[in-house]
Amino acid sequence: MPDGAMTAQPDLAANLDTVRARIAAAEIAAGRAPGSVTLVAVSKTHGAEAVAAALAAGQVVFGENRVQEAAGKFPALRPANPGLRLHLIGPLQTNKAREAMQVADVIETLDRQKLAAAIAAERDRTQRCPDLLVQVNVGREPQKAGIDPDETEAFVAACRGSLALPVTGLMCIPPVEDDPRPHFAWLAAAARRLGLAVVSMGMSGDFEAAIAEGATHVRVGSAIFGARPAPAAPIIPA
Ligand SMILES: *Cc1c(COP(=O)(O)O)cnc(C)c1O
């Protein structure tokens, strides 16, 4: 399997331009202010060379799924790129909270009380905390991370209240088989009700729909960096 970073790099600046143009067009079509949507370039599985190429093309906001992978790629890039902002967008184990908070500027996947408590404890210890988004399981999928939609308001209140966590928005990944638009509309409305400024939704296949429904952040991977290597096939016993 060739390194995705090496295969993706020649097209990367052009892909970025295309995605930026599509975002700008979607902002205009939705009557949104130009530049009101932040592009989070999702670099998971692609090497530090691909991230460096995106930085050279003016991209400074990135998303990664895994703490370990992010910690391997990003700290070395920070001194030369003080504007760099890293969002963690993958499910976060409680025992990885400390490392996640060291590596990330934004954690988009706060989704349960135990993780909130771990983050608050680490914040108390270090006196610093990334911005936090609450991930909502908008499709109520049993296998998917995220707080139940019905519990979102109470959970956000608890995080902002007694724990005093810097929750700035909501994030979702709608079910792949659904029309995402009702889910996007629900998330944007919930954020508005809760007075939360950030709405992270939309990926390569549906970011224009997300912008139409009020996304402030879209998380785009393959449309920028190219296809990711498929996960290894499970070994099925004969
Ligand atoms: C991988 C990933 C993305 C980007 O997906 P693409 O379809 O490659 O754009 C966005 N959000 C999350 C949470 C992801 O895991």
Instruction: Encode the chain (238 residues) as per-residue pLDDT tens digits.
Output: 444 444 446 699 999 999 999 999 999 999 999 999 999 999 999 999 999 999 999 999 999 999 999 999 999 999 999 999 999 999 999 999 999 999 999 999 999 999 999 999 999 999 999 999 999 999 999 999 999 999 999 999 999 999 999 999 999 999 999 999 999 999 999 999 999 999 999 999 999 999 999 999 999 999 999 988 776 665 655 4
DSSP conformational letter for 102? H
Strand partners, 85: 61
Do the domain assignments include residue 230?
no
Please, what's the b/e burial string for 14-49 (b: 16 or more CB within 10 A of its CB; e: otherwise)?
ebbeebbebbeebbeebebeeeebbbbbbbbbbbee
Give CA–CA dist 129/131, Å, rounded: 6
Residue range(s) defining the domain that contains residue 194: 3-220
Q: Two tokens at 56? A: 């050279």
Q: Two tokens at 186? A: 């629900």
Specify the ligand 1 atom closest to the Cα of 40: 10
Q: From ligand 1's centre to the CA of 121, what distance in Å?
A: 29
pLDDT value at residue 6: 47
Q: From ligand 1's centre to the CA of 219, what distance in Å?
A: 6
Q: How many CB atoms lie within 10 A of CB 75?
A: 13
Domain count, the chain: 1
Q: From ligand 1's centre to the CA of 124, what distance in Å?
A: 31
- HSE-up of residue 20 (Cα within 13 Å, Cβ side): 12
Cβ atoms of 99 and 147 within 8 Å: the answer is no
DSSP conformational letter for 92? -
User: CATH number for the domain including 208?
Assistant: 3.20.20.10
Do the domain assignments include residue 190?
yes
Strand partners, 38: 217
Which of 38, 69, 89 most suits a substitution to test ligand 1, by most atoms within 8 Å of the C-beta?
89
Pocket of ligand 1 (CB under 6 A): 42, 44, 65, 89-90, 173, 203-205, 219-223
Do the domain assignments include residue 232?
no
Please, what's the b/e burial string for 189-207 (b: 16 or more CB within 10 A of its CB; e: otherwise)?
ebbeebebebbbbbbeebb
Do the domain assignments include residue 137?
yes
Give CA–CA dist 70/161, Å, rounded: 30
Specify the ligand 1 atom closest to the Cα of 220: 9
Q: From ligand 1's centre to the CA of 203, what distance in Å?
A: 6
Specify the ligand 1 atom closest to the Cα of 204: 9
Give CA–CA dist 19/202, Å, rounded: 12
Q: For residue 13, give the amino acid letter.
A: A
Which of 15, 42, 43 most suits a substitution to test ligand 1, by most atoms within 8 Å of the C-beta?
42
Q: From ligand 1's centre to the CA of 193, what distance in Å?
A: 26
Q: From ligand 1's centre to the CA of 126, what distance in Å?
A: 30
Closest Cα to residue 217, out of 96, 97, 81, 40?
Answer: 40
Do the domain assignments include residue 236?
no
Q: From ligand 1's centre to the CA of 101, what distance in Å?
A: 21
Atom 7 of ligand 1, nearest CA residue: 204
